[in-house]
Amino acid sequence: MKPMNNDTRIKAMKGFAFRFIILIIFFFGVGYLSIITGKKGIAVLEERHQNYKEKFRIEAALSFEIDKLTKQLYQLKNKERSLHQHKTFQGIISELRAKIDKKSTETMINEQEKNIYNEMMLTVKEIQSVLDKYQQNKDEYEYQQELLDKCIQLYRENLE
């Protein structure tokens, strides 16, 4: 015996099966797109991580160079040195400054960072010129002091 609504039930089951298959295909499609988007997102994050890691490495190297430069400036300023030693230290500092300047212009992506490093190098250059002037004035003062001492000594000898 066949139920009276057999045709309606078969039609409803076919409609349900069609909708269910469409829903399953939709879920698999969305899942597939989610996986592809996730992989692309992971690739972008890994690339950014590499970029930040490289940028951090470069900035750390520049920071160490700047620390080295600062120590050299401090040593130049706070210790008595002959003119030759002073010029040698100035040469070392100028080389470090040029090296930092070259690295900062080659590796910095951000214009603001370039400007900061350029300002820093200009400040170091000004400090070097001031130290040179102080050294020159000191040498002139010592020379004048020697001449004055000789004059005083000659004057005392003439008085006797």
- Gap between the Cα atoms of 17 and 23, Å rounded: 10
Q: What pLDDT is attached to residue 116?
A: 78
Which pLDDT tens digits describe the chain residue by residue (160 residues)? 677 888 899 999 999 999 999 999 999 999 999 999 999 999 999 999 998 898 888 888 888 888 888 888 787 777 777 777 777 878 888 888 888 777 777 776 677 777 777 788 888 888 878 877 877 788 788 888 888 998 999 888 888 7
What is the rounded radius of gyration, in angstroms, for the C-alpha atoms of the chain? 39
pLDDT, residue 124, reads 81
pTM of this prediction exceeds 0.85: no
CA-nearest of 155, 129, 113 to 73 is 129
Q: Is 113 exposed, middle or buried (0-12, 13-18, 19+ CB in 10 A)?
A: middle
Q: What is the 3-state secondary structure (H, E, C) of the chain?
A: CCCCCHHHHHHHHHHHHHHHHHHHHHHHHHHHHHHHHHHHHHHHHHHHHHHHHHHHHHHHHHHHHHHHHHHHHHHHHHCCCCHHHHHHHHHHHHHHHHHHHHHHHHHCCCHHHHHHHHHHHHHHHHHHHHHHHHHHHHHHHHHHHHHHHHHHHHHHHHHC
The reported pLDDT for the residue numbered 31 is 96
Q: In the prediction, which pLDDT does 98 show? A: 82
